[in-house]
Amino acid sequence: VQLAAQCKPKPQRQVCKTVLKHFDAQYSEELGEQWWSARDVLLNPLSWQYGVLLNRFSDLANLKQCLTALGYTNLLPQTCPESQSHTTHMPLHCFIHRDPVRIPTQGHHSGWLKQYYLLNAASLLPVLTLNVKEGENVLDLCAAPGGKSLAILQAATPGLLHSNELDKHRYDWLLKTLESYFPPTLQRLLSVTHLDGRSIGSMRPGAYDKMLKVPGTLDGGDTATLSFAQPVSQRMVLVDAPCSNDRSWLYTPDTHQGEMWLKERTQLPLLQKELLCSALAAVRPGGVVVYSTCTMSRAENQSVVEAVLASYQGVELLDLDQQLIDSLSDQFYFAHLRPSVGQLVIPQKAELLEEVLLLSAFELN
Ligand code: SAM
Q: How many domains does the chain have?
A: 1
- Quote the CA–CA distance of 172 and 174 in Å, as a whole number: 5
How much distance in Å is there from the Cα of 357 to the middle of ligand 1?
15
Q: Quick one: pLDDT band at residue 100, thresholds 50, 70, 90?
A: low
The Cα–Cα gap between 198 and 30 comes to 29
With a cut of 60, say whether residue 352 has pLDDT above it: no
pLDDT band at 213 (very low <50, low <70, confident <90, very high): very low
Pocket test for ligand 1, best of 167, 192, 274 (most atoms within 8 A of CB): 167
On whether residue 106 sits in a domain, the answer given is no
Residue 104 belongs to some domain of the structure = no
- Residue 337 is predicted with a pLDDT of 67
Q: Identify the CA nearest to 160 among candidates 191, 129, 202, 126.
A: 191
Shortest-distance Cα residue to atom 15 of ligand 1: 242
**How far, in Å, CA of 72 to CA of 75, rounded?**
9
pLDDT for 63 equals 92
CB 255 within 8 A of CB 16: yes
Sheet holding 50-54: strands in order across? 73-74, 94-96, 50-54, 116-120
Distant-in-sequence, close-in-space partners of 169: CB < 8 Å, separation ≥ 6: none
* Choice among 151-165, 262-276, 285-299 with the minimum mean pLDDT: 285-299
- Give the number of other Cβ atoms within 10 Å of residue 19's Cβ: 22
Asked if residue 214 has pLDDT above 80, the reply is no
For residue 11, say if its preceding peptide bond is cis, omega within 30 degrees of 0: no
| Protein residue closest via CA to atom 19 of ligand 1 | 242
Domain contains 14? no
Does residue 199 lie within any of the structural domains?
Answer: yes
Of 256 and 193, more confident:
193
- By mean pLDDT, which of 107-116, 138-147, 245-254, 331-340 is the weakest? 331-340
Residue 79 within a domain:
no
pLDDT digits (tens, 9 = 90+) for 157-173: 988 899 999 999 999 99
User: Which amino acid residue places its CA nearest to atom 16 of ligand 1?
Assistant: 167
Sequence length of the chain is 365
Identify the domain containing residue 282 by its residue range.
25-49+121-364
Q: Which residue has the higher pLDDT, 359 or 222?
A: 359
CB atoms within 10 A of CB 214: 17
What residues line ligand 1, using a CB cutoff of 6 Å? 123, 142-148, 164-167, 170, 196-198, 240, 242
What was the pLDDT predicted at 198? 94
Residue nearest to atom 14 of ligand 1 (CA): 144
Alpha-carbon gap, residue 194 to 180, rounded angstroms = 19
Centroid of ligand 1 to alpha carbon of 321 (angstroms): 25
Q: Is residue 350 assigned to a domain?
A: yes
CA angle 89, 92, 95 (to 5 degrees): 120
Active-site residue set: 294
Strands 160-164 and 190-193: parallel
Nearest-CA neighbor of 190 among 224, 158, 225?
158
CATH of the domain at 144: 3.40.50.150
Select from 94, 140, 142, 276 the residue to mutate for testing ligand 1; criterion: most ligand atoms less than 8 Å from CB.
142
Q: Which helix (H) or strand (E) holds 51?
A: strand 50-54
On the question of pLDDT at 243 being above 70, the answer is: yes
pLDDT at residue 196, as a whole number: 95
- Phi, psi (deg, nearest 5) at residue 162: -100, 110
Candidate of 94, 165, 181 to mutate for ligand 1, largest count of ligand atoms within 8 Å of Cβ? 165
* pLDDT tier, 5 (very low <50, low <70, confident <90, very high otherwise): low
Q: Is residue 356 part of a domain?
A: yes
The full DSSP string for 157-185 is --SEEEEE-SSHHHHHHHHHHHHHHS-GG
Is 20 contained in some domain? no
- Amino acid occupying residue 236: M
| CA–CA distance, 257 with 249 (Å, rounded to integer) | 9
Over residues 223-231, mean pLDDT: 30
